[in-house]
Chain A
Amino acid sequence: MIFEDMDPKVVANINNFLGDKKALIVDARKTSKSTVKKMLVASGVKMSHIFNATSLSDARDIIIDLKIDIVITASEVQKEKGMKLIEDHQKVFPNRSAAIFILMSEANSPASACAILDTEIDDYLAEPFTAKSLAENFINIVQKKMETSNFLTFYHRVKEHIFLNKLDEAEDDLLQLMQIEDYLDETFYLEGLINKKHGDFEKSLLSFKKSVEVNPRHYLSLQELIDGHTKLKQYAKAYEFSFASLKNYPIDPEKLPNLIRLSLTNQKYEDLIRYAKFFSSLDEQCPATKTSIAASLVLCSKYFFNNDNRKQGIQTLLEAVKASSGKLSILHNIIETFIANKESKLAYEILNKFSPLHGKNPIFKLLEIEICFILEDVQTVLTKGIPLAESGHANKKVFEAVIVSSIKTDRKKSSIENLIDKAQTKFPDSIDYFSSLYKK
Chain B
Amino acid sequence: MIIDWTHFTPWTALIGGVVLGIASAAFILLNGRVLGISGILGGLLAPRRGDINWRVFFLAGLILAPVTLSWLIPGVVAAPRIEASNLAIVAAGLLVGLGTRYGSGCTSGHGVCGLSRLSPRSLVATMAFMASGFVTVYVIRHLI
Q: Do A and B bind each other?
A: no
